[in-house]
Homo-oligomer: A and B are copies of this chain.
Amino acid sequence: MKEKGLLIVLSGPSGVGKGTVRKEIFAQPDTAFEYSISMTTRSPRAGEVNGVDYFFKTREEFEELIRQDKLLEYAEFVGNYYGTPVDYVRETLDRGKDVFLEIEVQGARQVREKFPDGLFIFLVPPSLSELKNRIVTRGTETEDIINNRMSAAKEEIEMMNLYDYVVENDQIDLACERIKSIVVAEHCRRERVEPKYKKMLEVE
């Protein structure tokens, strides 16, 4: 009676520090989930290793994978494709291991459609919760700056809608701890655990 792994999706507005948090999580020896390495058509930077940092592909290879529906999600940024190979994700989940994706918000939206019961975590900048303070000090800011901040904040808050959890990235170690706690807690959710016990009773 093998339980399937959880699909954990970490996303958030660009610049919030998703990559830093993800690296810290996987630097910790007690992290029990597996990182799904992204695929990209951009060139490797100095020190980047194929199959560690990314799977580096040509544009033709990538577009062939799109055609074959082999990508869980993908997007194009500044002329390069980025995506998540679906086979690795499915195989790892089937082995009962949790899989961790760190992706952009538009990618997260695609994943939600395919894995509605995934675990979606939205990382927010601490600036969002300081919004009130910043509004209070409005006397010292121009109208334009305030309006920009307000509309950026509104967009970020609207993005949250898709997610199960919101984690503030005020301190990297705290953010990592919260994310790992969320994974532990999700494994204890009654909706996930109860069917397992009910199945046990059916045996024989």
Residues of A participating in the B interface, judged by any CB pair closer than 8 Å: 1, 121-122, 128-129, 131-132, 135, 138, 150, 153-154, 157, 160-161, 163-167, 177-178, 180-182, 184-186, 188-190, 193-194, 197-198, 200-201, 203-204
Contacts and interface: CB of A to CB of B under 8 A. Distances in A.
Chain A residues touching B, majority SS: helix
A1 B200 contact: no
Given A157-B194, A178-B184, A184-B181, A129 B165 contact: no
6 contacts: A1-B132, A135-B203, A153-B201, A160-B197, A180-B181, A181-B184
Integer count of this chain's copies in the complex: 2
Nearest to A179: B188
Given A132-B200, A135-B203, A153-B201, A166 B182 contact: no
